Structure 1
Amino acid sequence: MIETSAQTMLDRPEEPSNCTVCCCTLTNKVLMVLFMLLLIVAILVGNLVTLTVVLGTKHFHTPQGYLKASLAVADLAVGIFVVPISVYAEVYFMVTDSRPEWILYNSQSVSFHPCNVIGPIFAGCTLVSITTIFLLTIERSIAVLKPLHKDSVITRKRTTILIIFSWLGSFFLAVFPMVFSNEIALEYNSCSRMCNYALGNISEFPSQAWNILLLFPAFDFTLLGGTVVINIISLSSIRQHSKRRKHLAQTECQNATKPTFSDIKAAKTIGTLTIAFTVSFTPIAVFVVGNVLGKKWCNFSYFAFWILASNSCWNVIIYSVRDQKFRVRAHKLLMPFQKKNTTTT
């Protein structure tokens, strides 16, 4: 979400002179656009399936289901708004051999700059995803560590309120840099091929603006760190419970105080989800640290941001592999399409 640039877009209307992995040849450009188009399809199909399963199945009308739906909506927004603007910019450049006007100038030089909308959407949805995974982890940890209190502590009403606050808080943080600092601009970066917050050289850039933008990594790292710690505690409890089940005969009274098999399975699924998001977010963390140290890393910038964007289509795969009920329901949804294809052939 944060990109440093030595100059504003007004000062560099053409492609960078140094050849990056994404702009050296026409073949690379075509492959890059094809990747973006496939990513859009994967994000849209995967998250629409998730929403249909969660919202259309009574079994998933639970606090956990609501959180999964919120996560799917955030990922869906990336496929609807964020990736298509990159496709448009790159296809426009391939066809006309020039950049659209809103790319050639910074956000203050045109009447409407799409990045002023797309940038906060990408940042906000990323923050929503991190917050939602954190809430999913909290919900599962209570189910595993305090199973008797699960139904009284975790309610659909409380979960809905938390989801609303997570969206409001995330998008407040996303627009915070532009609202509280006129030194921060949004631009379509020619390295990452995305709308990012633009910074100047560290020696020239106001320290206040740096402090504002550092809220992003501080917030992200804090939540991700807490999520990982809570997952470790929950999974350790699950492991100890499994060991006890192997060596001790459980009475009905004892079983009542233990997490159910579905709770354990769900906790492992959320753990897998946390690992996937942490892995996809790590390159961004490395890139931000590199920016602070004055590194440009144009190629790495592209891979870091698009690895993060690709994470938006992984959730449905994780659910399908880890959750049998989700997998069965998703299969039933896709059956009509399979029958049509069989009839046609």
Structure 2
Amino acid sequence: MLPAPNLSAHGLSNLSGADLQRAQELAHRSVKVGIISVLGVMITLGNVAVLLVISSSVAGWSRNSRYFLLSLTAADSAFGLLVMPLNLWVSLLKDYTEGPDALCHVVAFCNATVYSTCMYTLATISLERYVAVFYPLQYSLLLTRRRTLLLIAFAWCFPPVVLSPISFPRGIIEVHFSTASLVCNPSYSTNAGYSLGLTCVIFFPCSLVMTYANLRIWCAARRQRLKMRKYCFARRSRHNVAARVLVPVMAAYYACWTPCMAAMIYNALSASSVPEWLEFAAVWLPTANGFLNCIFYFWMNRSFRRKFRLVLQRLALAACPELAGAVECCRAPAAPAAPAVPDNNNSSVYERSASVSSTCTLLSTA
């Protein structure tokens, strides 16, 4: 990296136009690196906390729900653990005058794959919630463990196959290092057809699935609340959980992903790039969705918060063993547990009820 020139008033007067532009680029790059680093730390810490909780069972969450949420957490964690470090590394090592290279192609492939996997994972979660709400009795038949794992495998394996041409340095897709967004991006202007095709294959199908599923669930929740009001249960009914969860989820999704897709389509059709800071915001906004997912899908869930406090207590006791004795002394004697009665016919019923409990809470039933 070249040292930053003197930016004092006397120094600016002695700089030529090219040197002044170079100094401004270096100053802007420092600010952008700081924003990306802070966002990466927030995403990593948030998803690590989520992994600590959902790696074990959570009350009211079915096995399939945990699988889908673990997949989402892994995809969001890839933003902070893979995408951001790779792009920061390239932006710090690569000079602006250098052209595309094999490393830039690999980084661009990783970026596109993680972005696409996150969108497909969000779509599969919406599909699972839709089945749990509208087909609760057939849930265990429609979404078996095998089908759940196949959906998750599709969300992780299909994007790398579709995006594989980006990884070849001398292939059909040109890749360049963007000084505005500090990422290695495919050249959408020279590959307009491929760029538009990727948008139609990835963004629009996932958006349609999410919008349709969440809109149907929201309408069902609204009808349920109207029925409860009709039968004089309004005072005892819960808050409008559907509007409090589904609306922020969809608003955050479109607010984070639409600018990126719009900028990509604009570059492909007009063969020109958007302004510098607008491109930076559009490219990095989808990573912010990885942090917002932690809030909307997990922290707004009471069972998750309760389990998170329990995990923190266990970690504190493991770190300070001398506190274990004091905690045991303060605990009240536990009531004798009821004898377990084996029932081989209740496994599928419990699976359905757990799935409905983790998703049908949006219906605000008593």
- Tell me if TM exceeds 0.5: yes
Instruction: Measure the CA separation in 1 of the matches of 2:49 and 2:193.
Output: 40
Normalization by structure 1: what TM-score? 0.74
Tell me how far 1:225 sits from its aligned partner: 2.4
* Aligned residue pair count: 295
- 1:133, 1:270 within 8 Å by CA — same for their partners in 2? no
Say whether 1:105 aligns with 2:81: no
- 1:280, 1:308 within 8 Å by CA — same for their partners in 2? yes
Tell me how far 1:325 sits from its aligned partner: 1.0
Normalization by structure 2: what TM-score? 0.70
Q: 1:230 aligns with which of 213, 222, 225?
A: 213
User: Per-residue displacement from partner, 1:13-57 (whole Å, max 9, x unpaired)?
Assistant: xxx96999x972655433322222212211211112222211222
- 1:235, 1:268 within 8 Å by CA — same for their partners in 2? no
Partner AA of 2:164 in structure 1: V
Instruction: Measure the CA separation in 1 of the matches of 2:28 and 2:169.
Output: 39
Find the residue that maps to 2:266 and give its secondary structure. Answer: helix
Say whether 1:308 aligns with 2:286: yes
Find the residue that maps to 2:297 and give its secondary structure. Answer: helix
User: Per-residue displacement from partner, 1:157-204 (whole Å, max 9, x unpaired)?
Assistant: 2111110122111111221455699231223211111121124xx5xx
Partner AA of 1:71 in structure 2: L
Tell me how far 1:283 sits from its aligned partner: 0.7
Find the residue that maps to 1:147 and give its secondary structure. Answer: coil
Say whether 1:211 aligns with 2:193: yes
Alignment partner, residue 85 of structure 1: 86
Identity of aligned residues (%): 20
Instruction: Measure the CA separation in 2 of the matches of 1:185 and 1:320.
Output: 39
Alignment partner, residue 357 of structure 2: none
Q: Please show how residues 51-62 of structure 1 align to structure 2 within 5 Å.
A: 51-59=51-59, 60=61, 62=63
Q: 1:136 aligns with which of 108, 114, 125?
A: 125
Partner AA of 1:275 in structure 2: A
- 2:117, 2:156 within 8 Å by CA — same for their partners in 1? yes
- 1:137, 1:267 within 8 Å by CA — same for their partners in 2? no
- 1:319, 1:326 within 8 Å by CA — same for their partners in 2? no
Instruction: Measure the CA separation in 2 of the matches of 1:215 and 1:287.
Output: 15
Instruction: Measure the CA separation in 2 of the matches of 1:19 and 1:174.
Output: 39
Instruction: Measure the CA separation in 2 of the matches of 1:306 and 1:243.
Output: 40
User: 1:137 and 1:320, CA in 2 relative to 1: closer, same or farther beyond 3 A?
Assistant: closer
User: 1:317 and 1:293, CA in 2 relative to 1: closer, same or farther beyond 3 A?
Assistant: same
- 1:115, 1:187 within 8 Å by CA — same for their partners in 2? yes
Q: 2:308 aligns with which of 330, 333, 337?
A: 330
Say whether 1:239 aligns with 2:217: no
Partner AA of 2:251 in structure 1: I
Instruction: Measure the CA separation in 1 of the matches of 2:230 and 2:219.
Output: 17
Find the residue that maps to 1:188 and give its secondary structure. Answer: strand
Partner AA of 2:290 in structure 1: S
Instruction: Measure the CA separation in 2 of the matches of 1:158 and 1:266.
Output: 27
Partner AA of 1:227 in structure 2: M
Q: 1:317 aligns with which of 273, 295, 312?
A: 295
Instruction: Measure the CA separation in 2 of the matches of 1:274 and 1:19.
Output: 43
Gaps in structure 2 of 5+ consecutive residues: 1-16, 323-366
User: 1:266 and 1:238, CA in 2 relative to 1: closer, same or farther beyond 3 A?
Assistant: closer
Partner AA of 1:293 in structure 2: S
Instruction: Measure the CA separation in 2 of the matches of 1:164 and 1:36.
Output: 29
Partner AA of 2:226 in structure 1: K
Instruction: Measure the CA separation in 2 of the matches of 1:274 and 1:105.
Output: 38
Tell me how far 1:244 sits from its aligned partner: 1.2
Say whether 1:170 aligns with 2:159: yes
Answer with 1 or 2: which has the greater Rg: 2
User: 1:315 and 1:279, CA in 2 relative to 1: closer, same or farther beyond 3 A?
Assistant: same
Tell me how far 1:270 sits from its aligned partner: 5.5
